A and B are shown apart, each in its own frame.
Chain A
């Protein structure tokens, strides 16, 4: 944990999260990320995970109820997001994040078919309609495309259902860091593993990914 002498001349705790259980966690049927200023990629396509891997790692589960290792890092850096696999029927999703040798496990049962577990920050919704006056910039809280408080929960995890042109969207690690959004800090190592209780026959359902940035 880093400390610094702040404005008041006292040591202050690190501004970064070290316990992944303090990161945002949602379930969503469709995630977006931008691959260009007005070009989105959705988690229903392989291109989403190919692009995500540019800022982390992508992988796939191959056996039901068996962990797939998305990344095993030695060193220091930041974890931004974990995008889990899904299944065509209700299932249980588990994430195991080992931070500096300490494992943390998240398990969500009765996940609705086609929904993915997302760990880490996200924008409320992203408008990627090129004709929109705001272009493809992500929107802030309580914007006109924000789902707001109507999101139900499964196992205590909020469920955000996508709209026709609006989805929860993840950002690049550099944007997350630049915007001072919640990230997980690791100092010696990070390992991210995911598993789903059932193995889908659909390739895209089995794909998953993680975004992170090692210290330069």
Chain B
């Protein structure tokens, strides 16, 4: 610890107007500090030039999230944890929620604030590319009043912003226009946590009839400021989603960024990886377009054909029929929403019918009543068990039998991505449930399985 606390002053006014008054009285003399996850690091290293600080931590005017019809207003004092835990942000601005999960660690997310991330103005900051593609606006406040600026205009140069010396960010406003876009972001760094990015990209895309209707791309750690990529966007917009587009987009993006060599990475690596991430984004957009095509084709089938095609995703006739009856669907998300709603409202017999189409975890074959598509998917989903040692497999068989004796049906779990050991642990835990709880738990697992299968089905 290289700083002497005796040399510093920190005041903590209890409301925002006192802070604003202080900044007006002595502009540039008081450095605002919120969660301190950056400033305290500088301070401990003996590198904090400022000697007087004013605390913004936990001011209620700054730590709130307001949801209106057309926009969400995030107080600048909201922590990354606040963002992660907010339902509307998770659903409509997943790139921001994701960036919040990627920043630092849980302990740092509990203190670091969005306002701090913006004002600190590191070009590597995780949340900033997301704010750029979401067309964020900032509300700035001082004794002179409030003003609203486009976030895209906020950064003037490396760690230089258009914030006046007597000003604070009050809130970050996000227009609620993007929930139907494909949302993509990726952070490339040395570890999955506690890593400053080498490159990060955030992108939104919307395609129709096989070509790109709208696209918005931003990148971090590739310039002195977080960068929107308008040249790349223009090159992609309204073009058909084919291999030539991917090649071209990669080239334009690599030329639009201007990264440097530093302790984390090199300019060459960064340019190459930005290109890779944009290609990955376009490939996702392409498979999303394919899914949309498949959905539109299914929309046009007769009712009976539609029911038959959907049935392997979830073995309940009632579910398949109700789902088909609600056509047409405009996108995959609304299909899933409808599926969830229908499933949750079915009665017990329908649930049991769906359960009966699955093989026992650990059985080599699906029951004969399952369709061959369903059986094939079951084999894929339970893949971890196929490779498993005999001892573990017999433990699973035994636990399954116990389950069947207790509940009168086979154990249902969404097996995808789970190891055999994990499934055994889950099974043992659920053996403790009472009947009602267990029925709901099994139904929830089936819901997850259905969603995964709906995706696979439309992506074929």
Q: Is B a genuine binding partner of A?
A: no
